[in-house]
Structure 1
């Protein structure tokens, strides 16, 4: 569906875009028995690991805006599934975790390409700047609450 008259950006428009894109990812993740929260937790362990358990939990809290106990629980789920491994307080992605991450990335890449097709680099840059500003301001408001 192509929208000819775009509404001004607001929380609803941002939310609709987020949930539409998330639904695509969740469809792929469900085929592999992984949740959205687990994927968001696995990603930094693959990209930046090994990480201190609390540092990983902190990154998950910052990304998902969830309680630290919930982030630690998701880490525990990934440890149980064998997608993460612990060496004391150090957490790293296992070979299975890396393979899953790579598989999900490969499966979502063509869909992502279709979603972004025809959107100019300039428009994407503007949207990125606007969304970054909104994120920073919302996080400041959340911190003040």
Structure 2
């Protein structure tokens, strides 16, 4: 039995991420772009809250997320509508790419998690959610002290 710690969690993350990166590379997108495509599937999103949400999720500077959005626009996968507040939405090509990403993720998920008993998956999900919440709380506390 392995001990649950940051190293074990990190190894699982990096191994899974490597599979995702390999699966989406032929689509011409990277991990940050995948997250943005997924965030835009439900429809247009105001750019500022989208940038904040993705920066917080990835623990990166907002400028990195602006670059991701700009790349999606330049690649014809997203478009900007500045009529009221800057809105970002997927183009038809963006929807098609996101659907292919979702298909790849579904395959990876089935292969990696498909035979894990539901009760064990539920416990793991709760534990990882709790660890994430605690880490986010600690990061927020550090940011407030600055």
RMSD: 1.1
Displacement of 1:102 after TM fit?
A: 0.5
TM-score under structure 1 length normalisation: 0.91
TM-score under structure 2 length normalisation: 0.91
For the residue of structure 2 that corresponds to 1:85, the secondary structure is strand
Distance of 2:33 and 2:12 partners within structure 1 = 21
Distance of 2:63 and 2:5 partners within structure 1 = 31
8 A contact 2:34–2:101 mirrored in 1: no
> After alignment, is 107-116 or 129-138 more displaced?
107-116
Distance of 1:127 and 1:42 partners within structure 2 = 27
Is the aligned partner of 1:106 residue 2:103?
yes
What aligned pairs does 1:125-136 form with structure 2 within 5 A after superposition? 125-136=122-133
For the residue of structure 2 that corresponds to 1:86, the secondary structure is strand
Is the aligned partner of 1:59 residue 2:53?
yes
User: Of 124, 135, 141, which residue of structure 1 is paired with 2:138?
Assistant: 141
Displacement of 1:32 after TM fit?
A: 1.1
Count of aligned pairs between the two proteins: 139
Gaps of 5+ in 1: none
